[in-house]
Structure 1
Amino acid sequence: MATLLYRLGRSCFRRRRLVFACWLTLLAAVIAVGAVFGGTGRLDDEFSIPGSESQQALDVMGRAFPGAGGTSAQLVFTAPTGESVKEAPFKAAIDSTLARAARAPQVAGVTAPEATGTVSADGGVAVAQVGYRVSKNDLDADSLDALDAAAAPARAAGLRVDLGGSAFSGGGAEPGAQDLIGVLVAVLVLAVTFGSLLAAGMPLLIALAGVLAGVGGVLALTGVVGISSTALTLALMIGLAVGIDYALFILSRHRSHLAEGRSPEESAALAAGTAGSAVVFAGLTVIIAMAGLSVVGIPFLTVMGLCAALAVLAGVAVALTLLPALLGVVGARLVPKPGSRAAGRETAVAGPETRAANLGERWVRLATAKPWLTTLAVLAALGALAWPAKDLNLALPDNGSAPAHSSQRAAYDTVSRTFGPGFNGPLVVLADTGDTASPKAAAATIAKDLKVLDDVAAVAPPKVNDSGTYAVVQLVPRGAPDAQTTKDLVTTIRDRAARIAEETGATIRVTGQTAVSIDVSVQLASALVPFGAVVVGLSLVLLLIVFRSFVVPLKAAAGFLLSVAATFGATVGVFQNGHFRGLVGVDGPTPTASFLPVVVMAVLFGLAMDYEVFLVARIHEAYAHTRRPLHAIHMGARHSARVVTAAALIMVSVFAAFISSEGMILKQVAFALALGVLIDAFVVRMTLVPAVLALTRHAAWWLPAPLARRLPDVDLEGRRLNSPQPAPEHADLAMTRH
């Protein structure tokens, strides 16, 4: 691999004009296709599982009760303090508002508060229901604007009108200005790392090209595949972060070779062959991990993983081709000036081992001075951080976790406070009454049977369709939509299905948006352990091949699990338990997004392998030359710690910038990824890994001879590139230098 990438890097360096032309053509094509066939207007923010009981029932209900299968909204009317919505002026204003709402685009019907019994006892609050003919994904933004405008008469009369319901829900968020914050921090880190604005700007330029290609490709696919705004932003976050990091790794190695006195062309080729090999491996692990989300069996999660994988693939491609071409344009201008701080840093790394240790090496020397103590301290700290993960509560964030200043959050809080939290997430029981003697009697019996269940606050009168084949019974849980009692209630109703079928002859299924969310959470929770096993197993195999060692893969997998556990624990502590929630802009406890664990596991797996490879590859290289375990650890840290630190800080800054997003799903994912990278890079890879290698010493690199003969030699460190090249290649290099 190293030899192949060496030749690719040298070819791109020489034929830079052709490389630039190819990439410009590709980017133009991607942007054009996205503009014509895709775009952010086609994003799909509905999370469901086709084939699940709740989704199947929802689909049937849409056919049996035309208009009922679409999304819905709430108009929450609040009278001034001490007054009542029943007063004549307010009543007239509400009626006028409902009449205008019924004429709004895509509205199937409007139900007045009196019909649903949603008028508070003191008359201070009334809630009207607005049903749409289409799902939330097919709902036009203009339709919601028209509904808001329809509330003008009520507002003019002095009523407060808040709009809520599933039509306004959604935890995703499209990319915004927060992207620039991460970019600015990345520029600062790169400038400090390289001591040159020219060198600092190159990884950023390369990453932006990769983001244009990857995210542009995602947008181009929105015309044919349902892609959520969360998937788009995740692809942007990961694409930007890995794009900068991969370019940083190659450019850093290039600068080291330049400091050794190599020509720009040979230096670029060697950097592509050595650091480029690690980039290919690291990118491949991220791509496989993200694509591995498809094993969970949930379409929206599969699409999310494939979008992120596409962004990473683009980042790897530009780092291996466009960056060497750009290095050819810059030429010798990246050579550190003699006497500069940048030259001092490069020569300190590339120079004799007797030079004073840099900061990274000093830290690793401290960690390996008493490795047992370091190992125990890290395990205790990560264990304490992971402890809250036992209370992990998975759910899809709803309007209860929307920003406090939003209309949907005000509507949610008003309804919850006035009528009970269950009114924000009613359950719908769909009964197949086609084989019953009396559909109406069967539906009434079902409603009566459900009303006596624990945790049921109210049951609405059942509705039977015109053909008598189906009936719906809507019930209100006592608990909130994301409460455990509501989840238990869904299970209880489904367990009673056989008994109800014996009594009435009707089969029932539980559906509604709350049930759909519960089904998504249950399936994701059940997939967490199998997915984790696949990811850990993959890491063991890949690292076994790369480092030809038993200890290194086991240590890497254990470190990954510690990072994930600590990340989950901290996420639960902040979002569910409310610790330090003000720092991340959360005003109340909220459940953890259902798909956060598997997404974070996939991303952190790839990034953890990145740092493992870039750090341990240098240690392995030093050990292969000296056979001195502790010395190799220190030398590996001297060569790689600064780059790994810079890469991790860039990752953290890019992810952390998205914590300011108003979308709760994106906020949680960004927080978990930022903290996870911070823990994995600095606590696990830069501290625990050297300590464990110091404890195991020579045994860390042991592999049985029979297995060693059967494993492929990928030459990640580029050992063959350091041996004399064939004469024709030397001739080619000599010609290019002239």
Structure 2
Amino acid sequence: MAALLYRLGRACARHARTTIAVWLALLLSAGTAYVLFSGELQDSFSIPDTPTDEVNQRVSEKFSGMGGGSGTVVYQTEDGSALSEEQREAIGDRVDEAAEVSGVQDAVDPFATQQDRAERREEIEDGREEIEDAREDLEDGQEEIDEARGQAEFAGMLDQAEDELDARQAEIDESREELEERSQRLEDGERLLEMASEIRMVSEDGSTALVRVSFTEAQEEIPQETKDAVMAVFEDDPVAGTTVDFGNNIAMSMPSLVSTAEVIGVIVAAVVLVVVLGTLVGAGLPILTALVGVGIATLTAMSLSGVLDMASVTPILGLMLGLAVGIDYALFIVNRHRHQLKRGVDVGDSLGMANGTAGNAVVFAGMTVLIALLGLNLTGIGFLGLMGTIGSLAITIAVLVAVTLIPALLSLVGTRVLSRREREELTGAAATEGGHAEADSETRPMSTGRALGRAAVAVLVLGIIALPALDLRLGMPDGSSEPPESTQYRAYTTMTEKFGEGSNGTLLVAAELPDTPGDERAEDHQLEVAEELYRRHDVAAVAPAGISPDETLAVFEVMPVEGPASESTEGLVHSFRNLAPLDGAGELGVAGMASGNIDISEKLSDALPTYLAVVVGLSLVILLLVFRSVLVPVVATLGFILSFFAALGGVVAIYQWGWLGWLFGVENPAPVLNFLPTLVVGILFGLAMDYMLFIGSGMREAHAKGQPARLAVVTGFRAGRAVVTAAAIIMGSVFGGFVFSDTIMISSIGFALALGVLLDAFVVRMTLIPALMHLAGERAWWLPRWLDRILPDIDVEGTHLEHRPASEHREERAEQRTDLDPVSG
């Protein structure tokens, strides 16, 4: 691999302008594809074949017009007064108009619903009065029968009148039974109204009304143009004296690809590059090439959105990764090239050597990230696998840019990648080509006591930061997590204030009815199920939504006491699903926002161990090939586990507990994004192995050149610490720029990756790993002989390149004088 990359670097340097033209053509092609083929991004996540999905499908089969997605429109008066009759009529007109939009199943007039409920209550009251009057009439009739019976008995004519009196008594008894049944039905109806009283469409003070819009398609399949058309009905013709907002089940917040915070992150990266590389030319190349790679990857990803269901966060993840690793990978090659130039290596030779050594490490580092990201497809979760695929595309392009475009650009700038002072020193001094990782006479290994102390402190620090991860709760962001100025946030807070927090996440409960025909039996069971649901402590209201025409399924709308992301609502979903069937009926099914989030979270949790085993296993094989050691890959992986849980602990403290929320823009703490742990596992593992490669390969290189193991630890650490420090700060800055995104999903992912990278680089790779390598001594490089014989020597450090025959050096220098552009100097 090192020799192949050496030749590739030399070829790109000799044909610099052609290489640059190819990459510019690819960028132009990606932009053209984006313009021609890009489509809509999705703002929701779904997983097929979950319990929630099964309930929705069953309801859709049994009830015409049910089972599709829904949206909420919130009207509120500007001055807080009750909605006037004119305003109510105007809202009703817009409801009728919205119901005619293509893709809309129905739109419910809140005032008509309120009127229907009031009429139903009035009917119950009238029915109760009628029953009381009928009972009085029956009592009068009973008295007449009793009196007639007494008179007949007194007259000795009871036998003659008994048949007639018995018939009249039977009529009275039958009427009394009918009245009791009717009275029971009225009581049942009143009980149902009482249980549903908290589910309102108009607030108690009359100032706020909710319009429910149901769609023909499932929630995740509703085209955005349909939602936009519905919102336009209410927005384009506003009702005087009112404000209108939309819930996050209808309004979409499209996260911005580029924000001020991200630009600041790139500026910080540029400052670090200037400090490390010493020249504006050197600092500009990694940023330039990273932007080219990110542009190609992001535009290509966006162009696929026309044929793939792509979440809005997916291309941003590719942008985040491509920008961070693109700068880092270019930095490693540029830094190696600069060191070689300062040792007097010819520009052409140096470009080949840098590509064959640092570029070799970049390729294998990229492979670990690539495996981790592509492994997300093993979870069987479509949207997560697509995120991994798009992320891997960004990584692949970043690696290819680093090993082709960087040598081409470096050949054009020649020695100007060095500062003026460095170039003067180079021409005025006799340069000697020495090894890259040689120890000076004053280099000493650290003491064993110091190694023990450093290891203990590192583990203790990471353990303390990881403690909040023990309280990890997973979920999906709701309206409370949207930016405070957004319509979704205003809708959420208004509904919480006027209708109760649970109104933002009602549950749909489906109950299978017993195989007993008859409307009355179905209604009896409906009431029985409703009362069983209502008994739960965390239920605020239960409203029957209907019984299927074949009387096999009853559905209910259940409003929890707390919001969709709360622990109590999560417990409620599990409680309903675990409820024993009533009277021989089937089990209860639950759907809704909270239910869907729980199903996604549980499926992700179930898939994580398998994913982690496969990804870590494959990466361990790569590390075994790179380091030719059993202990180093194991230690590297254990260190990653510590940094991962520490990153997770930080996320829980900030985004779930709300610590320092004012600093990170967390207005309402909530459960952690349910796919964040899985996503961060893949990305952070790959990036952690990057730093392990650049720190560990220096140690192995020194040891391979004959240094004792413990001395090689110090030598390799000193050789790589500056560039790894710079790379970690750059990557942390780029990821950190996304922390201040208005979208909580982007913010939490950016924070987890920024914290994880910084902890892994500075605490694990630069503190814990050197200490453990020192303690292991020569055992760190132990490899069974049988395994040593069968493993290929991939020479990631490129040591074989430094022992090429002198004739090969002379031939390549002759080629350089013939083929290299004169500008390269």
Q: Does the pair score TM above 0.5?
A: yes
- Please identify, of 605-614 and 701-710, the stretch whose mean Cα deviation from structure 2 is larger: 701-710
Structure 2 partner of 1:150:
234
Q: Whole-Å Cα distance in 2 between the matches of residues 341 and 417 of structure 1?
A: 72
Aligned residue pairs, count: 724
Q: Is the 8 A contact 2:2 2:795 kept in 1?
A: yes
The equivalent residue for 2:45 is: 47
Identify the match of residue 396 of structure 2 among 303, 313, 325. Answer: 313
- The share of aligned pairs that are identical, in percent, is 39
Give yes or no for the alignment of 1:238 onto 2:321: yes
Structure 1 match to 2:6: 6
Deviation at residue 470 of structure 1 after TM alignment: 5.3
The aligned residue for residue 342 of structure 2 is 259
What residue number does 1:400 align with?
Answer: 480
Query: CA 1:564–1:171 in structure 2 vs 1: closer, same or farther (change >3 Å)?
Result: farther
> Are the counterparts in 1 of residues 437 and 715 from structure 2 also a CA contact under 8 Å?
no
Which residue of structure 2 aligns with residue 674 of structure 1?
Answer: 754
Deviation of residue 718 (structure 1)?
A: 0.9
554, 566, 575: which is aligned to 1:483? 566
| 1:432, distance to aligned residue in structure 2 (A) | 6.0
Q: Which deviates the most, 196-205 or 321-330?
A: 321-330
Q: Does structure 1 residue 109 correspond to structure 2 residue 106?
A: yes
Deviation of residue 11 (structure 1)?
1.5
Shift in Å, 1:635:
1.8
Query: Which residue number corresponds to residue 91 of structure 1?
Result: 88
The separation in 1 between residues aligned to 2:255 and 2:542, in whole angstroms, is 32
Equivalent position amino acid for 2:2 in 1? A
In 2, Cα distance between the equivalents of 1:171 and 1:397?
Answer: 14
Distance 1:145 1:301 in 2: 29
Deviation digits for residues 308-364 of structure 1 (CA, Å, limit 9, x no counterpart): 0011011111111122222222223324444579979x999969754999xxx9xxx
Instruction: Give the conservation status (yes or no) of the 8 Å contact 1:169–1:399.
Output: no
Residue 460 of structure 1, CA deviation: 1.5
1:27 Cα offset (Å): 2.7
Contact persistence 2:647–2:756 (CA under 8 A): yes
Where structure 2 has 5 or more consecutive residues not aligned to the other structure, the ranges are 114-198, 819-825
Query: Is structure 2 residue 537 aligned with structure 1 residue 457?
Result: no
Alignment match, 1:419: 499
SS in 2 for 1:695: helix
One-letter code of the match for 1:231? T
C-alpha contact (below 8 Å) 1:549/1:701 kept by paired residues: yes
Matched with 1:181 is 264
Q: Which string of whole-angstrom CA distances, capped at 9 and with x for unpartnered residues, describes residues 163-213 of structure 1?
A: 225113669654444442222222111111111111111111211221122
CA distance in 1, matches of 2:235, 2:80: 22
Spell out, residue by residue over 1:247-295, the C-alpha distance to the aligned partner (whole angstroms, 9 max, x if none). 1111111111111111111110011111111011100000000011112
Unaligned runs of at least 5 residues, structure 1: none
What corresponds to 2:489 in structure 1? 409
Give the CA deviation at 1:612: 0.3
Structure 1 position 215 matched with structure 2 position 298 = yes
Inter-CA distance 575–380: structure 2 relative to 1 (3 Å threshold): same
Partner of 1:613: 693
Query: Distance in 1 between the 2:256 and 2:446 partners?
Result: 43
The answer to whether the 8 A contact 1:120-1:418 is kept is yes
Assess if the C-alpha contact under 8 Å between 2:91 and 2:239 holds in 1: no
Counterpart in the other structure of 2:175: none
> Separation in 2 of the partners of 1:318 and 1:177?
26
Query: Given the alignment, which residue of 567, 580, 584 partners 1:503?
Result: 584
Does the 8 Å CA contact 1:434/1:469 hold for their aligned counterparts? Answer: yes
The more displaced of 301-310 and 108-117 is 108-117
CA distance in 2, matches of 1:564, 1:342: 44
Aligned twin of 2:76:
78
In structure 2, C-alpha distance between the alignment counterparts of 1:557 and 1:426, rounded to whole Å: 43
Tell me by how many angstroms 1:112 deviates.
2.8
Q: 1:548 to 1:349 in 2, by over 3 A?
A: closer
Deviation at 1:429, TM superposition (A): 2.4
Query: For the residues of structure 2 that align with 1:632 and 1:563, how far apart are their CA atoms?
Result: 25
Task: Report whether the alignment pairs 1:626 with 2:624.
Answer: no
The AA in structure 1 aligned to 2:352 is A
Alignment check: 8 A CA contact 1:616 1:636 kept = yes
Shift of 1:106: 4.3
Give distance in 1, aligned partners of 2:745 and 2:632.
Answer: 35
The equivalent residue for 1:15 is 15
Shift in Å at residue 149 of structure 1? 5.7
Residues of 2 paired with 1:35 and 1:484: CA distance? 44
Q: Is the 8 A contact 1:93 1:154 kept in 2?
A: no
Native 8 Å contact 1:459 1:476 kept in 2: yes
Matches of 1:719 and 1:154 in 2, distance apart?
73
Q: 1:82 to 1:736 in 2, by over 3 A?
A: closer
Is the contact between residue 9 and residue 403 of structure 2 (CA under 8 Å) also seen in structure 1? yes
8 Å CA contact 2:95, 2:109 repeated in 1: yes
Aligned to 2:118: none
Q: Which moved more, 1:685-694 or 1:438-447?
A: 438-447
Write the letter of the residue equivalent to 1:317: L
Task: Provide the rounded CA distance (Å) in 2 between the counterparts of 1:82 and 1:59.
Answer: 41
Whether contact under 8 Å (1:97, 1:151) holds in the other structure is: no
Taking the aligned partners of 2:288 and 2:365, their CA distance within structure 1 comes to 20
Say whether 1:541 aligns with 2:541. no
Greater Rg by CA: 2
Contact 1:45–1:172 (CA under 8 A) maintained in structure 2: no
Q: What amino acid does structure 1 have at the position aligned with 2:44?
A: E
Structure 2 CA distance for aligned equivalents of residues 181 and 151 of structure 1: 36
1:385 matched to which residue of 2?
Answer: 465
Please say which of residues 177-186 and 567-576 is displaced more in the overlay: 177-186
Give the match's secondary structure for 2:544. coil
Corresponding residue of 1:709: 789
Distance 1:232 1:141 in 2: 21
SS at match of 1:255: helix
Q: Does 1:589 align with 2:701?
A: no
CA distance in 2, matches of 1:217, 1:81: 49
Equivalent position of 2:635 in the other structure = 555
* Offset, 1:421: 1.9
Contact 1:218 1:307 in 2 (8 A): yes
The amino acid that maps onto 1:33 is A
Pick one of 349, 360, 366 that aligns with 1:283.
Answer: 366
Moved more, 440-449 or 668-677: 440-449
Closer, same or farther: CA 349–156 of 1 in aligned 2, 3 Å: farther
Contact 2:507 2:557 (C-alpha < 8 Å) held by counterparts: yes
Q: Which moved more, 1:60-69 or 1:118-127?
A: 60-69
1:25-63 Cα offsets, whole Å, 9 max, x none, are: 33332222222112xx42122211111121233244445
- Contact persistence 2:508–2:590 (CA under 8 A): yes
1:688 to 755, 765, 768: 768
Provide the residue aligned with 2:152 in structure 1.
none
* Kept in 1: contact 2:321–2:394 (CA 8 A): yes
CA contact (8 A) 2:46 2:220 kept: no
Q: What is the one-letter code of the residue matched to 1:503?
A: G
The alignment partner of 1:588 has SS state of coil
User: Would the aligned equivalents of 1:171 and 1:398 in 2 still touch at CA under 8 Å?
Assistant: no
Q: Which secondary structure does the structure 1 equivalent of 2:340 belong to?
A: helix
Q: CA separation of 1:379/1:728 partners in 2, compared to 1, >3 Å: closer, same or farther?
A: closer
Q: Is the 8 A contact 1:112 1:128 kept in 2?
A: yes
Instruction: Write the letter of the residue equivalent to 1:298.
Output: I
Deviation of 1:80 after TM superposition, in Å, equals 5.8
Residue in structure 2 matching 1:206, options 289, 293, 314: 289
